[in-house]
Chain A
Amino acid sequence: MTVSLLKISRMVKLGLRSLVGHKLRSFLTALGIIFGVSSVIAMLAIGEGASFEAREQIRAMGSTNIIVRSRKPDEPTTSKDANQHLSVYGLTYDDALRIQVLFPRVIVQVPARILSESLRRGQTQLQARIVGTVPWHLDRSAAALEVGRFLCPEDVTDVANVVVLGNSAVRELFPLVYPIGQTVQIGSQAFTVVGVTRAASGPRQGGANAPREDVHVAYIPVSAAVKRFGKILVKRGTGSFQMEQVELHELTLTTESNEAVLPVAEAVRGLLEHFHRKKDFEIVVPLRLLEQAEATKRIFNIVLGSIAAISLLVGGIGIMNIMLANVTERTREIGVRRALGATRPDIVLQFLAEAVLLSVVGGLLGVGLGIAIPAVVSHAAGLRTIVRTAFLVLAFGISVMTGIVFGLYPAVRAARLNPIDALRHE
């Protein structure tokens, strides 16, 4: 005879009855599962929350990005000149240019150097944002070329005194004259106008480098900005002046894909090392950080999983223990049922149903507690926790599995009993 639904429902009823008949015992047994399941969920939720935060932070840097930073080289500071010391180190615009030329498919984002100099032609003087930048700036800004040309690589390498004006500045400075080829004064320097830009319509790209439409703007080669308008940064240290000269603090390289990140980073490192004698730069690869974070999460998950497995193991042993006691206690009943025609599978089913019921009830209560604990932790400790449905399903599934695995042996043992011996059992 096969196992029918009717049979299963009868067995479940029988099991429920037996569990309700021993309320305290059943509850204590289920407690192991309840704590096992809820701790699994709580740990997963807290771990998920923590790693989610970490990943978000790293992802904010961009997974296809490589960040190259200037870094003060570790050099032995002699006490003699420690008080007044001019240190020159770090990335240069030449570095940026080299990278861009050698890796044309990589987007090199150079923070523009903003000067607060005035823009003057004849008697007209404007307050403008003078942006020292690179030739590829225009491709990534919201502005578009109106007439003439934008800055070209030679402008940067030659430190040319050329300027590209925003059209609002052009309207003010050259109300009547065609601006290209004319000269404007930036501070005390004369610059030749080579092009005019206009702010593009449509949504602006955000970011600090994007020009604001309400301000007059002028673009000059970044090298010119550095050369003509100074680049020494004076830091006031404790009781001493420390002068640092850093041309470029940070470069962001955007590659086309995650796969390209690591090779490009290595190649850039090689390139930079070739031109920098001192180790005055560092390369940060968010993708690698992300991978490390994922690896850490994996380890974390293994640890959590082990703890969870142990707690559920303990719960399972509790079930097994009580079911073995149950089988011993009810040996006579097993004998009677066998005499009345129960097959071995019938007996297995009966005791297995009871064990699984214990784990199901324990699992459900554990899921409830497992949802509550992260909420309390979030509230009390301010930790971010994320309870995913998958955690609940996983924890509950494992608890049911525990019931089956640990209930099977007592059930099989019950069924293995010889009907005669079982009947004679006192």
Chain B
Amino acid sequence: MNVSSPAREVIRLEGITKVYPMGGGSVAALRGVSLLFLAGEYVAIMGSSGSGKSTLLNLLGCLDTPTSGHYLLEGTDVAGMTDRQLSALRRSRFGFVFQSFNLIAQISVLENIEVPLFYQGRGRRECRERALALAAMVGLEHRVRHRPSELSGGQMQRVAIARALANDPSVILADEPTGNLDSKTGAEIMTTLDGLVEQGRTIILVTHEDAVAAHARRVIHLADGLVDRDEPRPGPHP
């Protein structure tokens, strides 16, 4: 259908568990998850609250480390990496889009988009040019001097997407990207994300809305810390 040649493997999870200490005992958020993600995949992770979907996304984004199991990112095991190495992965491989946008309030739209570039150590002019290009790409070139609080929710999420793209990541991780938006704006954001897949990026998003999951080509259902169903979503894509 969409992948004719054998696609490159981006992420391989093998028997991932995540246990949080809680009070006296502990809570297992993930109880042995094994998954494979290929380059250019568009994946939605669904599941009820507490199913472990956010934990999984955080682990995928190297924001957290698994309790056991193997996480191979393009063949490299992430499990034993130091904080510094994980930071380096986050700033080179991943782009994050959050439900609550998570823009930094004190700085302008343009500066928000520049943040990942700054941590990559790019020069000032390069940062500015790239951030301006990205702002234009999400249609906000006329709002770059504004503070995030002066934008609408949809605009803020578009800034967040521009920021997620700043370091040209291979994987975009989105946690309920439309959760705080009305359905019309949410649909616009999803269209923007759809466009990113066409650029060859892998998108993994967490959602509980079927309408959002409908954009993906593969849906993984988690239940109680395990993969319940992992199925391709056939049919036409918007």
Contact = CB atoms under 8 A, between A and B. Distances in A.
A21 B123 contact: no
A367 B82 CA distance: 44
Nearest to B83: A344
A337 B111 CA distance: 12
Contact of A344 (B63, B84, B106, B107): B84
A343 B115 contact: no
A423 B101 CA distance: 11
Given A341-B120, A342-B119, A17 B106 contact: yes
A219 B197 CA distance: 117
A83 B116 CA distance: 101
A10 interface: yes
Interface in A316-374: 332-333, 335-344, 346
A381 interface: no
Contacts of B34: none
B98 A18 contact: no
Nearest to B119: A341
A346 B92 CA distance: 16
B104 A7 contact: no
A419 B107 CA distance: 20
Contact of A343 (B87, B106, B107): B87
B84 A336 contact: no
Contacts of A380: none
A346 B123 CA distance: 16
Contacts of A332: 102
A340 B121 contact: no
B116 A340 contact: yes
A10 B98 CA distance: 25
B83 A341 contact: no
A16 B104 CA distance: 16
A342 B91 CA distance: 8
B106 A340 contact: no
Contact of A18 (B58, B92, B106): B106
A423 B63 CA distance: 10
Interface residues of A, number: 26
B33 to A, nearest CB: 17
A18 B111 CA distance: 14
Given A339-B63, A340-B91, A341-B90, A423 B84 contact: no
Nearest to B59: A420
B90 A21 contact: no
B96 interface: yes
A341 B116 contact: yes
Most buried by B among A10, A336, A344: A336
A6 B124 contact: yes
Contact of B104 (A336, A338, A344, A419): A336
Bin chain B's interface residue count. Answer: 20 to 34
Contact of B88 (A18, A333, A341): A341
B168 interface: no
Nearest to A340: B116
B90 A339 contact: yes
A1 interface: yes
A21 B88 CA distance: 30
Contacts of B224: none
B177 to A, nearest CB: 14
Contacts of A419: 63-64
A420 B83 CA distance: 13
A78 interface: no
A18 B104 CA distance: 12
B235 to A, nearest CB: 34
Nearest to A7: B121
B130 to A, nearest CB: 14
A139 to B, nearest CB: 78
Interface in B102-136: 102-107, 115-116, 118-121, 123-124
A123 interface: no
A346 B88 CA distance: 12
A344 B90 CA distance: 13
Interface in B68-97: 83-84, 87-88, 90-92, 96
A346 B106 CA distance: 18
Nearest to B115: A340
Contacts of B120: 341
B207 interface: no
B96 A340 contact: yes
A201 interface: no
A4 interface: yes
Given A333-B104, A419-B63, A420-B63, A341 B121 contact: no
Contacts of B115: 336-337, 340
Contact of A420 (B64, B116, B163): B64
Closest 3 CB pairs of A and B: A341-B91, A341-B119, A343-B87
Interface of B: 58, 61, 63-64, 83-84, 87-88, 90-92, 96, 98, 102-107, 115-116, 118-121, 123-124, 163, 167
Given A341-B119, A420-B63, 20 more contacts: A332-B102, A333-B105, A337-B104, A339-B96, A339-B102, A340-B91, A340-B115, A340-B116, A340-B119, A341-B87, A341-B88, A341-B120, A343-B83, A343-B88, A346-B87, A419-B64, A420-B58, A423-B63, A423-B98, A423-B102
25 contacts: A1-B121, A6-B121, A14-B107, A17-B107, A21-B106, A336-B104, A337-B104, A338-B63, A339-B63, A339-B90, A339-B102, A340-B90, A340-B116, A340-B119, A341-B90, A341-B92, A341-B167, A342-B91, A343-B84, A344-B87, A418-B64, A419-B63, A419-B64, A420-B64, A423-B102
